[in-house]
Amino acid sequence: IAGITQAPTSQILAAGRRMTLRCTQDMRHNAMYWYRQDLGLGLRLIHYSNTAGTTGKGEVPDGYSVSRANTDDFPLTLASAVPSQTSVYFCASSDSARGDYNEQFFGPGTRLTVL
Amino acid sequence: GQNIDQPTEMTATEGAIVQINCTYQTSGFNGLFWYQQHAGEAPTFLSYNVLDGLEEKGRFSSFLSRSKGYSYLLLKELQMKDSASYLCAVSSGDYKLSFGAGTTVTVRA
């Protein structure tokens, strides 16, 4: 593994189903993030984690949950998917030890369609 | 809250120069990033400014004025491969970035 990986690459999901998007990084970064990207709205932060064992809410957290059991993994769960959650989801990480220099590295994205 | 504005679209000719402006109003400021995102791909880092002035990196330069809440990304000697979206993002503390909606640049032959 090099950098950040996400799975699945794409998914079509029936409304009401539960879905977990996976994210793994091998850079030993402390901080990780989940964004959704919608046309005309740019990247919006869903949840973040500054270090293993802690998580926080971003701009659009409703309908999503995350966990951070270890440094490498940061899964995003949709408990009961709705069509408005159709989007492209990006996971990112950064080295919080670098203080204010918060360059984020992005995974390849998951394209999710909820019908 | 955070407010980051950039134009939606720009078109330029191969070999030309394009300047993408970004204005921001944020609750804190720890630096400004520019990312490039090709269609269907992940954003990738282009530049970082934390002090006022111009940062040059090959054909790309980025400028920052903190007092004006203003930045621009300058793309010189445009190539077809520069057709992409360019995202302005502000770091305002707590290791988070706030992104603008992005500017789609189309380079024509």
Q: What is the pLDDT along chain A (115 residues), one digit of tens a residue?
A: 579 999 999 999 999 999 999 999 999 999 999 999 998 888 999 999 999 999 999 999 999 999 999 999 999 999 999 999 999 999 999 987 776 677 899 999 999 999 9
User: Chain A: nearest CA to B6, how far in angstroms?
Assistant: 11
pLDDT of residue B1: 63
Residue A103: alpha-carbon gap to chain centroid: 16
Selected residue of A100, A105, A110, A111 to mutate for chain B interface (largest B Cβ count, 10 A): A100
Across the interface, which of A31, A40, A106 has its CB nearest the CB of B95? A31
Q: Are strands B103-108 and A105-106 parallel, antiparallel or unpaired?
A: unpaired
CA angle A49, A55, A57 (to 5 degrees): 100
pLDDT less than 50: residues of chain B: none
